[in-house]
A and B are shown apart, each in its own frame.
Chain A
Amino acid sequence: MSDRLLELEQVRAGYGDFQALFNITLEVKAGEIVTLIGANGAGKTTTLRVISGLVRCKSRKLHFDGQDISQLPPHEIVMRGISHVPEGRQLFPHMSVEENLALGAYIPRVRPKLKAGIAEQFELFPRLQERRKQLAGTLSGGEQQMLAVARGLMAAPKLLLLDEPSLGLAPKIVEEVFAKIQQIGKSGVTVLIVEQNVVDGLSISDRGYVVENGEITLQGTPKELLANQQIRTAYLGL
């Protein structure tokens, strides 16, 4: 078997009559951090939703860990080892930090290790430990993002999907979040990030893809992409 953890080939998907994805082909190797960049509405979020099974797609290939996952419902995809941290955090606002984490460990495989899992997340995000009894809805934006990521990690995924982790956060907090993501990557979890924050996203990545109008138009190492004139004008305003 190859070291390709995730493979998408010619993925097409949409909502009703609206087609959002026309031709998405990408791969993520085990251990990589990969960033998907693109403008609003380019199809970044839909791509993640296809991978986690929230949106049905037509594809030549949608494989995870060497197996076809295109027909699986979302809850079974989680069990296979993909955690999706959705855009805008999407916490359970009237539950405590701890209870949100417990829901992250809902799948049978990790349920027995709930306590150890929570302890591990508290080690990675000490702020969450301080706020363990607090309702998720009352946390600051940065804390909520940390909790969303920690909740995703509770399922002990092989692949972590992060949708706009920097959205709505102050620059200093963004830095902190990306540092944590880098740390998570180093611990052996493969990460696929969707970001509008091109520079920060690419800075911690091994590779990047550019999505435009539902198609992958460019790919390369962060260095190559940041040197690309097209990207400099479109996303960096240079």
Chain B
Amino acid sequence: MESVVNWFYPLIQAILNGLLTGALYALIGMGMALIFGVMRIVNFTHGAFLMLGMYVSYVFFLKTGINPYLGFMVSGAILFVIGYAVYMGLLRRIPGQVDFMVILVTLGLALIITDGVQLVFGADYHQINLPLVARNFRLGTQIFVNAPWLLSFVIALVLAVALYLVVTHTMFGRAARAIAQNPYPSPLMGINVNRVQAISFGIGAAAAGVAGALLLPVFYLYPGVGSQFELKSFVMVVLGGMGSIQGAAIAGLVLGVVESLTSLYWGNEWALAVDFVIFILVLSLKPSGIFGSQRA
């Protein structure tokens, strides 16, 4: 009995924690995958969008006292508008949408947003105190589930499923997938390609913003907070099969569990390294991805 407690419960606990984190990763990765799938844009602003979502929720919390588990809607709405505007104002105007130029523009924009936030809020770390954060549910005698993580897991899961249904079952989603599969004839179907792409970019940004808001109660807030999640979202898009949103979602959950297990057995400092070992292995051995076909 003693030995089971020693290895079994920590394992289950780690897997559980990994899934809880992974749902947030999934949301971030789906946003990135949607943008990549529909526009072939590698969005280096994704982390900055996530960070903005955190700050929006933070300010909203300070001003109204409404916690991020409702405030995420405000983050999502504002980030959608920002994403839409960024596409219409900047990305659409890049001649021929040359990959390299798009990368430079999104990278430059990320720097401007990050430094802009630093200018306004300073570089200090912030945190909000919610009584909820200390709450734990007990499963049996040995397993604990932290309440805020459970809450963010449920919200992220609902939104991920909703996003999946929008992409697979609505006219908008059908148009977005059509553009992803073959952009050339899409306008000939009567699809306003720019509009569909701007909305997709907006939804992608909103997904990052919502994830940011949900991370706020359990994480530190500072202007550079987005970059680590942005790197993870690249891993998810590659692992999930370039541009497949369900692939990215599964990859997010897997990444969460792998990181959690790595921390358990090898220590925290290895978690990020393992992400990139996976990234490089997938890119070199199976570049079409593991959890989804390309542009499904």
Q: Which residues of A contact B (CB under 8 A)?
A: 52-54, 73-75, 78-79, 83-84, 86, 90-95, 99, 102-104, 106-107, 111, 151, 155
Contact = CB atoms under 8 A, between A and B. Distances in A.
B185 A90 contact: yes
A103 B192 contact: no
A107 B182 contact: no
B193 interface: yes
Contacts of B116: none
B190 A75 contact: yes
B171 A92 contact: no
B190 A155 contact: yes
Contact of A95 (B178, B188, B190, B193): B178
A107 B171 CA distance: 10
Contacts, number: 65
A103 B181 contact: no
B221 interface: no
Q: Please give me the 6 A-B residue pairs with the lowest Cβ-Cβ distance, nearest first.
A: A74-B187, A107-B190, A78-B190, A90-B185, A92-B181, A106-B190
Given A73-B187, A99-B174, A93 B192 contact: no
Given A84-B188, A92-B181, A95-B177, 5 more contacts: A54-B188, A92-B177, A92-B178, A93-B181, A95-B181
B184 A86 contact: yes
Interface string B169-196: 0010011011001101101111111000
B295 interface: yes
A102 B189 CA distance: 10
Interface residues on B, range: 10 to 19
Given A103-B174, A103-B175, A106-B175, A75 B181 contact: no
A78 B189 contact: yes
B243 to A, nearest CB: 11
A86 B187 CA distance: 11
Contacts of B293: 94
B264 interface: no
7 contacts: A73-B187, A78-B188, A83-B188, A92-B182, A95-B178, A106-B171, A107-B189
B192 to A, nearest CB: 5
A64 to B, nearest CB: 15
Contact of A86 (B174, B185, B193, B296): B185
A53 B293 CA distance: 33
A161 to B, nearest CB: 9
B187 A54 contact: yes
A86 B188 CA distance: 9
Nearest to B295: A94
A172 B296 CA distance: 34
Contacts of A93: 181-182
Given A94-B296, A99-B174, A104 B189 contact: yes
A45 B153 CA distance: 52
Contacts of A90: 182, 184-185, 188
A92 B179 CA distance: 9
A136 to B, nearest CB: 9
A45 B189 CA distance: 18
Interface string B222-244: 00000000000000000000000
B191 to A, nearest CB: 6
A102 B190 contact: no
Contacts of B171: 106, 111
Given A94-B295, A95-B177, A106-B175, A75 B185 contact: no
A111 B175 CA distance: 13
A37 B209 CA distance: 54
A171 B59 CA distance: 69
Contacts of A95: 177-178, 181
A106 B178 CA distance: 11
Contacts of A111: 171
Nearest to B179: A92
Contacts of B191: 75, 103, 106
B197 to A, nearest CB: 13
Contacts of B184: 86, 90
B150 to A, nearest CB: 36
Contacts of B182: 90-93
A90 B184 CA distance: 8
Given A84-B188, A86-B184, A75 B193 contact: yes
A211 B273 CA distance: 62
